[in-house]
């Protein structure tokens, strides 16, 4: 695979003996661009500064400053460099050490023109094949992720169409969630580090499925104008468990129990009605036992429910909604998240107004 | 056809010109350039090895003789290569025999002289 302006792949030759470098250059110059370095330190410097990384490295073992083994060890811990195959330039008495250290092949001194050319060519072909496989996997993964995204969004839309009163509830709760997460990250709140490890953009996407379990709630309850009686309310509460089950079935279907997207979806669908004081449902989880994504979802969901009219209630003013949320600090809601909502209440109002 | 070689006073092959040329894809000028470079840049390399041995620094001696052996192999300096193989083996074993030391010194000096002939022929 060509990688430079003259359409030739680049080979880096690292050897402290310039005569060895000159011979290898002569052997390879017609088919490759040659970069050279006289020791590991210089090679590393050139690799870090290179616009285009070499496709392969021919590396001497014994060199001053930094020898071949040391350079290879450093390359292994570098995300970009560890993928460059290394062929050791060696003598027959240390071939096995070179291969054990992670070299893909070796070239013996004295050099044999045909063998040098063939070993470089063969390893480049393997490298190109491996690169194309990785590209293919990345492409397929992106396709699978897009399919999952679309499926989950379609599922969220179905819920929303069915639950007519909520209008753009799903979309707004996603925006509230996004605003809240962004504020927590930007203000370096105590949740910032945890959020960064959770792929925060996925939390926002997962919010779309928070009410997916409502698909299992009968219309007469879901669309009932007025207050639900205790039995009806108990049935309504099961939407959290139904939601969890649906997501878990999807995890099984896509054979990916570790998908962070589906894990956030499950946390949110299952636990967005838990309360910080442990009096929520379905599990009665308390405080930090409630997943952070679900605690964020709870505030986003309740805020929207308060400021929107529903079949069973009229809309509340933004100030009244914030007042209710403040009253729930530490009881219904996570106190840190409640404070964050207070800080960005203008943003919440704007989201609400522009997404009716 | 007789091999294109240069022999030393003892009749052994010191420089295998065919092999050296083959290594640089028959680029005679480059071969001459490499031999000239060896003469100018590496004239003291064996002395360096022996001074490490004299100082008891066998680790450094091992690396230096290994490098010299590799160059000799690549430049088709046949006799020097053979003798550096033996020298390296003794250094690795921790003791360099005085006879081997004298022999490799003599071989190295003779090689430096003989390679002028190749440089004159291909250096153009």
What residues in chain A have their Cβ under 8 A from chain B's Cβ atoms? 16-20, 22-23, 26-27, 62, 91, 109-113
pLDDT at residue A63 in the model: 81
**B79 neighbors B13 (Cβ within 8 angstroms):** yes
Instruction: Please provide the CATH number assigned to the domain covering B5-122.
Output: 1.20.120
Q: Would you tell me how many other CB atoms lie within 10 Å of the CB of residue A214? A: 22
Residues A120 and A33: their CA atoms lie apart, in Å, by 13
Give the pLDDT score at B1. 46
Has residue A3 got a pLDDT over 70? no
Question: Residue B44 phi/psi, 5° resolution?
Answer: -100, 5
Q: What is the mean pLDDT of residues A142-165?
A: 76
User: Which tokens belong to A218?
Assistant: 């009968």
* Residues in chain A closer than 8 A to B19 (CB atoms): 110
Q: Where are the domains of chain B?
A: 5-122
* Closest listed residue to residue A24, CA positions, set B44, B46, B63, B27: B27
Which of these ranges, A57-66, A242-251, A276-285, B84-93, has the smallest mean pLDDT? A57-66
**Structure tokens given for A247:** 């997501």
pLDDT by residue (tens digit) across A41-52? 999 999 999 988
| Interface test with chain B among A28, A109, A112, by most B beta carbons within 10 Å | A109
ipTM of predicted assembly, 2 dp: 0.85
């Amino acid at each position: 695979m060509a990688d430079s302006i003259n359409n030739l792949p680049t080979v880096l030759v690292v050897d402290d003996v310039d005569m060895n470098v000159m011979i290898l250059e002569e052997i390879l110059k017609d088919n490759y661009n040659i970069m050279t370095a006289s020791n590991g330190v210089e090679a590393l410097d050139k690799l870090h500064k290179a616009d285009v990384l070499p496709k392969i490295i021919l590396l001497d073992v014994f060199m001053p400053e930094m020898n071949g083994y040391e350079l290879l060890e450093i390359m292994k811990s570098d995300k970009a460099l560890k993928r460059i195959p290394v062929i050791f330039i060696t003598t027959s008495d240390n071939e096995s050490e070179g291969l054990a250290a992670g070299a893909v092949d070796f070239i013996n001194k004295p050099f044999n023109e045909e063998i040098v050319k063939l070993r470089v060519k063969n390893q480049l072909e393997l490298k190109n094949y491996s690169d194309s496989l990785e590209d293919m996997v990345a492409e397929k993964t992106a396709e699978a992720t897009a399919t999952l995204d679309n499926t989950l969004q379609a599922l969220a839309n179905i819920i929303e169409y069915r639950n007519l009163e909520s209008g753009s509830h799903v979309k707004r709760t996603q925006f509230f969630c996004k605003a809240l997460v962004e504020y927590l990250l930007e203000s370096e709140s105590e949740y910032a580090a945890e959020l960064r490890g959770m792929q925060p953009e996925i939390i926002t996407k997962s919010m779309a499925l928070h009410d997916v379990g409502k698909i299992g709630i009968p219309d007469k309850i879901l669309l009932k104008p007025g207050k639900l009686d205790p039995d009806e309310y108990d049935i309504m509460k099961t939407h959290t468990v139904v939601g969890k089950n649906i997501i878990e079935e999807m995890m099984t279907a896509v054979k990916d129990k570790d998908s962070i997207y589906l894990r956030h979806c499950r946390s949110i669908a299952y636990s967005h009605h838990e309360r910080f004081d442990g009096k929520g449902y379905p599990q009665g989880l308390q405080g930090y036992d409630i997943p952070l994504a679900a605690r964020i979802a709870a505030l986003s969901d309740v805020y929207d429910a308060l400021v929107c009219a529903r079949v069973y209630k009229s809309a509340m003013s933004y100030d009244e909604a914030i007042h209710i949320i403040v009253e729930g600090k530490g009881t219904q809601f996570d106190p840190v998240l409640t404070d964050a909502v207070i800080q960005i209440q203008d943003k919440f109002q704007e989201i609400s107004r522009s997404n009716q | 056809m007789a091999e294109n070689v240069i022999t030393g006073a003892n009749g052994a092959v010191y420089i295998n010109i065919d092999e050296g040329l083959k290594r640089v894809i028959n680029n005679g000028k480059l071969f001459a350039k490499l031999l000239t470079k060896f003469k100018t840049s590496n004239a003291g390399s064996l002395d360096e090895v022996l001074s490490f041995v004299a100082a008891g620094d066998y680790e450094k001696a091992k690396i230096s003789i290994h490098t010299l052996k590799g160059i000799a192999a690549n430049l088709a300096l046949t006799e020097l290569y053979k003798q550096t193989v033996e020298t390296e083996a003794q250094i690795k074993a921790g003791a360099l025999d005085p006879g081997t030391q004298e022999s490799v010194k003599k071989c190295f000096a003779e090689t430096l002289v003989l390679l002028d002939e190749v440089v004159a022929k291909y250096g153009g």
